[in-house]
Amino acid sequence: MPLPLSTLGIAHTLISLLPVVAGVVSFARNGRIDISNRWGQAYLAGLVLSVFTAFGLSSTGGINPGHVLGVLALLAVSAAWLLPRLPLPKSITPHLQAFGLSFSFFLLLVPGINETLTRLPAASPLASGPEDPVVRTALLAWLVLFIVGFTLQSLRIRAAQRRERAR
């Protein structure tokens, strides 16, 4: 039987849905998470809130892998946000920014996948923990989806850059 969620756990779960929805909508509309529009900004705000609320949660009483992934996601988002302000070649900046934002989205869902599979359905969860083959398979599929998604974004960015140079 999975452990019941605390009030903070419920709040964190609800807050964590914001960056998931905003990231998916932004990707569907723009082919990427675009932090210059409302959905991208909602993604950023939701990610930050999600990570900070996670710091109050720990079944071990200390720092856990989910906290570390949250910090890495914040670092990836921060780097993506700063990239356009750095003196880097304009051809590579959009690729790095897409990677940073996509990677943050990937990291956001790693603990989410584990938690979902080990808690749902409530009466008989699909997995027993992070080492369960169901969780490992789902995470592998998520990694493949991340790689494919980033590759498609890079191809799209490259095609746009070629069109721009041809003008």
Domain spans of the chain, in order of start? 7-166
Q: Which tops the pLDDT comparison, 58 or 72? A: 72
pTM for the complete prediction? 0.91
- Please state, for a pLDDT cut of 90, what percent of the chain lies above it: 78
* Angle in degrees, 0-180, between the axes of helices 38-54 and 65-82, rounded to the nearest 10: 150
Q: Cα–Cα distance between 160 and 18 in angstroms, integer?
A: 29
- Within 12-166, strands assigned E span none
pLDDT of residue 3: 59
Under the banding of pLDDT at 50, 70 and 90, the label for residue 158 is very high
Say if CB 161 and CB 98 are below 8 A apart: no
Give the tens place of pLDDT for each residue, 77-133: 999 999 999 999 989 999 999 999 999 999 999 999 999 999 889 889 999 999 999
pLDDT of residue 71: 96
